[in-house]
Amino acid sequence: MPGSGEVGDWKMAERSFAKEVQSLRLGDGETFEGEAILAVTKALLQAGVGYVGGYQGAPVSHLMDVLADASEILAELGVSFESSASEATAAAMLATSINYPIRGAVTWKSTVGTNVASDALANLASAGVTGGAMIVVGEDYGEGASIMQERTHAFAMKSQMWLLDPRTDLPTMVRMVEQGFDLSEASHTPVMFMMRIRACHMYGSFETRNNRKPSFTAADALAKPERTYDRIILPPSTYLQEQEKINERWPAAVRYIREHRLNEVFGPADGAVGLVVQGGLYNTVMRGLERLGLADIYGETRIPVYVLNVTYPLIPDELEEFAAGKKALLVIEEGQPEFLEQAIASQLAASGCPTRVVGKGPLPRAGEYTGAVVLEGLRRFLADHAPEALRPVREIVVPLRPSAQLAANVPPRPSGLCTGCPERPLFASLNLLQREMGALHVSADIGCHSFATLPPFNLGASIMGYGLGSAGASALNRVEGRRAISLMGDGGFWHNGLTSGIGNAVYNKHDGVTIIVDNGYSAATGGQFIPSSRGEMTGRDLKHPIEKAVRGVGVEWVRRIGTYDMKESMSVLREALTTPFRGPKVVIAEGECQLNRQRRIGGLLKRREQEGGRVVKERFGVDEQVCTGDHSCIRLSGCPSLTLKPSSDPLRPEPVAHVDHTCVGCGVCGEVAHAAILCPSFHRVDTVLNPGRWERWLNTLRRRVITWLAGAPREVAS
Amino acid sequence: MSAPSRPISLVLGALGGQGGGVVVDWMTRVAVASDWLIQATSVPGVAQRTGATIYYLELFPAAALPADGRRPIMALMPSPGDVDVVVASEWVEAGRMIQRGLVTADRTTLIASTHRSYTVAEKSHPGDGRSNPAAIREEAERAAKALVAFDMDALATRNGAVISAVILGAIAASAGLPFKREAYRQAIRDNGIAVEANLRAFEAAFEHLAAGKAGADGGESRQQAAEAAVPAAFSERIQGEFPEAAWSLLRLGVARLLDYQDLRHAALYLDRLQSIAAVDTTPGSDLLKATAQGLALWMSFEDTIRVAELKTRPERLAQVLRPSSPRPGAIVELTDFLRPRVEEICGTMPAGLGAWLRSSPAWRRLLGRWTGGRRIRTSTISGYLFMRSLAGLKRWRRLTLRYREETAAMEAWLAALHQAAATDPALAVELANCQKLVRGYGETHERGMARFRQILAGAISPADGISPAEWVAEQRARALAEVPSP
């Protein structure tokens, strides 16, 4: 039974970069080959960064994992690294760069993380920085994104931080990290470095330079502390800071960007029309031009292209030069609102330039700018404004329209909980409880458990943000009658849920039930450790029980359940929903993340097996002849390893349930069959490797007696 | 292959756990070792879990680069009409690639595994909600320049590897890439993960395709169980008394009931069907067949005795207790999960006694002590003997409460069929098909039975506007498709 026995190989994070981080040591003139996320890390070291922090989340989870795995290299360089408690923590960490000439970098998933960090970011941007400050934001937009669709651009504008969106090409990205720090220092302004989902995992190469040790360290700062009144966020400094932003920092940034040519122009000097492109979309746009016969594969284009590697601020002179003499510009800007298009149009209008500015129109207002979308947008723009350019050199094959028959046979494949996930029995218990007590209001949260909102569980009415499940039910928590259930993950709990949810519930005398899913990791982001993790890790202090924290803020009614024991879980949840006790009720649902558990104990079990130690491997199975094929078990559990198998019974052609070879023996099948009074089809097979002598003897005896009693197998089983 | 003027593009759609990332690593090694430029990107499904991940690779030969140092600009995502090779690691994912427009007849080679990893929607259907593989094949043949389809999962399993190695073999053999077979082998060695198994599976896939076997095995082939041996007397009776179209089905039914109970039970089956055959006079009617199928299942209802018998069969024990580990001396233990309720206990008792105990609150409480989740260790002698003695109650099955109640219900059904056959043959067929609703165990069985009774009762006075047969068909379809709230 999966528990959290504290043995095995504790590893930080799902993916290990232990081998790859060696490339962070490459020096002058050597060639780096690898993923962009690692390349950006290398660039931070080349830029002489002094401290790094951040909060994990796709698409930049791996940046945090790389840094964690690179602790040795970071220590050699004297770079401090912290896994921040939240994005707000990470942003606040940049405060060091306000007073001291230390370069700092932090990272998170945007825009969700930027939302959380906004308070600190706004203050940082107002105070301004001495040492370069960079925020690497993973722009989670378009296909593969797991959050609401918004733009980081708005944050850059509202706080006046510069936004880099470099061409997705490793040498350019690395150069932009280095120059980004220079820009930050030249303009005393924090800089955001935007990485799109696909760019993060892009494999490529660049020529490296030596890493730079930070010239000023935290020790130097502590030895000679500095403060200047005008960097404090209080009036009247804040008024002066606003003036400084507009009158000094902004012009300084424009000057630096123009002088160092951070933006690029490609193609002929003249032309009737031109394209203004976010750096991150450059590759897509060039492929579109190439397919239209207007560019070659190397980027030689017949249509002039102005690439904004810095999308905020705009450089008026550069823009006017590019626009001069052109009839129309197409602004290729992903996401909405169309900040760039508006800014470009107003800039050109103010300068009296007659060039038409077009963007959303030929291009869609919302959604990801995929290859097909950009191609179509280019074609439309050129047809309207430069039809003479549009001579299709190569015929573009339009794919066949898939038939309705195909659509009917390609069911969606939503994400779901992993095989053996401890949250599966929790949600099955909740659903069985609803069968008994009627429908309940469930306030969901961010994390793996948000998959409970999908089939087959269909649990959860709203998701308000990371760690906000409990807060999301606040308005329903003070009424008499039925109680609402809130979910919260352990990751979200430590991120902010302890205060925003639990502390709030205590103070406001909530009467609802909060289930804190304690799987031991920040699981959805890749299995990073959190304060309540049971593992061991140098440089981090773990094993802080959630229960202690919850009781510490004043919750009196706290129960802990092991999710795999559905009978107990249901009885505790039933009690929580019906007890006469008034006040917040917290149920801590424990069960170690199976993905991480397998990584933790997999190697250990293999070693033990090879050394001749006793190892039991459990697997579940379905007796095909006993299964009547109504699939209730699947609807309750949804386990990936519990699937279908064609029936071999011609009288009953419906497929039967089947447990495939990926089963990890978590036991939920048996629990579900018992708790839901399902069917007697399930069995568990325990394979004992290297059994003891007595065990073997007993087994032989049993097998002989049973074979004697049962007789030999018949040839054909009906 | 002459040097391409633009990058070769390859899309790989893989599911979580299939090793898509490893394929990309291998391909990167192959390209780099062969002096080709490669750019690889991926978009993981939401939160990297069980969803699908799309990997995109662009490849360009260093030999074709211009002398001035310029490098080709590689795209980060596949575009419809601009993909050379699409690899789908599962059959519905192949359909999804076509749906996304990534497969075009002018240039795309589609390499797909025909095996299925069922989606939640397909698995949750209370009947058969599976996608039709033939529909995807039809579309794949229409959409692709070339289609290479075979069961990669089976080949991987046979070679003790993950499907990724078979995918690599299929790419090497069929994608039309200019890399040497040895380069792929070396990439597997250099990567260092499960090298032996992966090499074995890689070679197997390569050979499989080189031998031109692709396309030969299509989708899932379902093997119909051989028609069971039926005693001659029954065969003669079937042939003498029933129309030929039903013979095969009746033989299956007889075989099932002989296995379930005895000769008398099988004879009763044919007796009951005879009365239906007598009224099934409409040409082309399916009444007899539908009834024969439903009745065979109903007369072999899954009571405690049946479950215990199936679980103690020597062939079941032999199969389940076969060690799956190659480690010598491994032993296997078996635990069966049963969950009897008072109803199941009383149902196995003599009818009068069972009915009385079941209706007595005091006895229910007492019997309640033996209910609840039970784990029977069938591989121990005591566990086996317990199950075997339950199975041994078979000889007294006709006396049990469950048998009496099931008999009454099925006779009511047969009577309804009989009656309907005379006045409304279409209704009779629809009612016969309703037996499908009565299945499962415990509460599932009770729910199904309740729906069945509702339909049987409602059919007499159907709602306005539609015929009774239509009403029943609609109600049945609805009941079968409705996913009971969990």
ipTM: 0.91
CA distance A541 to A170: 36
- What sign results for the dihedral spanned by CA atoms A516, A522, A523, A529? negative
**Residues on chain A touching B39 (C-beta within 8 angstroms):** 202-204
pLDDT tens string A653-670: 889 999 998 899 999 988
Kindly tell me if the per-residue pLDDT of B326 is higher than 70. no
The gap from C-alpha B10 to its chain's centroid, in whole angstroms, comes to 31
| Residue of A406, A409, A435 lying closest to B485 (CB–CB) | A435
Interface of A with B in 243-282 (CB under 8 A): 282
pLDDT tens string A253-301: 999 999 999 999 999 998 999 999 999 999 999 999 999 999 999 999 9
pLDDT at position B321 is 87
- State whether B484 and A649 contact (CB < 8 Å): no
pLDDT at position B49 is 53
**B486 near A CB under 8 A:** yes
**A652 near B CB under 8 A:** yes
CA distance B248 to A334: 64
Instruction: Give the best residue of B41, B58, B98, B254 to mutate against chain A (max A CB count within 10 A).
Output: B41
A483 within 8 A of A577, measured Cβ to Cβ: yes
Q: How many other C-beta atoms are found inside a 10 Å radius of the C-beta of residue A579?
A: 13
The half-sphere exposure of A706 on its side-chain side, counting CA atoms within 13 A, is: 30
- What is the phi/psi pair of residue B376, to 5°? -100, 120
| Residue of A410, A705, A710 lying closest to B131 (CB–CB) | A410
| Residue of B249, B307, B325 lying closest to A626 (CB–CB) | B307
pLDDT at position A203 is 87
Kindly tell me if the per-residue pLDDT of A415 is higher than 80. yes
Pairing state between β A191-196 and A133-139:
parallel
Instruction: Give the best residue of A173, A410, A689, A698 to mutate against chain B (max B CB count within 10 A).
Output: A410
CA B460 to chain A, closest CA, distance in angstroms equals 28
pLDDT at position A716 is 46
Query: Is pTM, for the whole model, over 0.90?
Result: yes
Of A84-88, A280-284, A630-634, the one with minimum mean pLDDT is A630-634
Percent of chain B with pLDDT over 70: 91
- If you ran DSSP here, which 8-state letter would residue A185 be given? H
Q: How many other C-beta atoms are found inside a 10 Å radius of the C-beta of residue B244?
A: 8
Distances in Å between the alpha carbon of B333 and those of A395, A625, A682, A700, A713?
65, 20, 14, 11, 18
The predicted model gives A54-69 an average pLDDT of 89
**Higher-scoring residue by pLDDT: A68, A558:** A558
In terms of CA atoms, which chain B residue is nearest residue A631? B126
pLDDT at position A16 is 76
Q: Label residue A78 left, alpha or beta by phi (over 0 means left) and psi (-120 to 50 means alpha).
A: left
The predicted model gives A347-352 an average pLDDT of 96
**Higher-scoring residue by pLDDT: A545, B68:** A545
Give the residue extent of every domain in chain B.
8-210, 232-288, 304-397, 400-486
Give the confidence band of A3 by pLDDT, cuts at 50, 70, 90.
very low
**Residues on chain B touching A408 (C-beta within 8 angstroms):** 135
**B69 near A CB under 8 A:** no
Kindly tell me if the per-residue pLDDT of A144 is higher than 90. no
pLDDT at position B273 is 96
- 3-class DSSP assignment, residue A624: coil
CA B484 to chain A, closest CA, distance in angstroms equals 8
Exposure b/e, A232-259, CB count within 10 A at least 16 = b = eeeeebeeebeebbeeebbebbbebbee
In terms of CA atoms, which chain A residue is nearest residue B54? A144
Residue A436 CB contacts under 8 Å (≥ 6 apart), including other chains: A574
Lookup: tokens for B100: 């996304």
pLDDT at position A394 is 60
The residue count of chain A comes to 718
The predicted model gives B359-376 an average pLDDT of 89
Residue B368 CB contacts under 8 Å (≥ 6 apart), including other chains: B342
In terms of CA atoms, which chain B residue is nearest residue A649? B225
Kindly tell me if the per-residue pLDDT of B178 is higher than 90. yes
CA distance A51 to A84: 12
**Residues on chain A touching B372 (C-beta within 8 angstroms):** 674
Lookup: tokens for A404: 């309705």
A680 within 8 A of B307, measured Cβ to Cβ: yes
Per-chain mean pLDDT for chain B: 89
**A373 near B CB under 8 A:** no
pLDDT at position B226 is 42
pLDDT at position B220 is 37
**B315 near A CB under 8 A:** yes
- State whether B313 and A282 contact (CB < 8 Å): no
Architecture of domain B8-210: 3-Layer(aba) Sandwich (3.40)
The predicted model gives A633-661 an average pLDDT of 91
Distances in Å between the alpha carbon of B462 and those of B412, B416, B467?
19, 15, 7
> Which residue's structure tokens are 């529909």?
B135
Lookup: tokens for A461: 């009415």
Q: How would DSSP label each residue in A341-359?
A: HHHHHHHHHHTT---EEE-
Which residue, among A162, A191, A107, A165, has the nearest Cα to A283 in the 3D structure?
Answer: A165
Per-chain mean pLDDT for chain A: 92
**B335 near A CB under 8 A:** yes
Angle of the B468-481 helix axis to the B425-433 helix axis, nearest 10: 10
Distances in Å between the alpha carbon of A38 and those of A41, B91, B464?
5, 34, 69
pLDDT at position A279 is 98
- Ranges of beta strands (E only) in A279-355 are 305-308, 310-312, 328-332
**B256 near A CB under 8 A:** yes
Q: How many other C-beta atoms are found inside a 10 Å radius of the C-beta of residue A115?
A: 18
- 3-class DSSP assignment, residue B25: helix
Kindly tell me if the per-residue pLDDT of A193 is higher than 70. yes
> Which residue's structure tokens are 């996930």?
A421
- What is the phi/psi pair of residue B214, to 5°? -60, 145
**A393 near B CB under 8 A:** no
Which residue, among B436, B387, B319, has the nearest Cα to A680 in the 3D structure?
Answer: B387
- 3-class DSSP assignment, residue A35: strand
CA distance A91 to B105: 51
**Residues on chain A touching B72 (C-beta within 8 angstroms):** 297-298
Which residue, among B88, B77, B80, B78, has the nearest Cα to B105 in the 3D structure?
Answer: B80
Residue A350 CB contacts under 8 Å (≥ 6 apart), including other chains: none
- Ranges of beta strands (E only) in B250-406 are 331-338, 374-376
Find out whether the peptide bond into A313 is cis, omega within 30 degrees of 0.
yes
Kindly tell me if the per-residue pLDDT of A335 is higher than 90. yes
pLDDT tens string B185-236: 999 999 998 999 999 999 999 999 988 754 444 333 333 444 556 889 999 9
pLDDT at position A526 is 83
- State whether A679 and B41 contact (CB < 8 Å): no
**B68 near A CB under 8 A:** no
**Higher-scoring residue by pLDDT: B363, B47:** B363
Residue A524 CB contacts under 8 Å (≥ 6 apart), including other chains: A446, A447, A448, A450, A489, A491, B47, B49
- State whether B103 and A684 contact (CB < 8 Å): no
**Residues on chain A touching B54 (C-beta within 8 angstroms):** 143
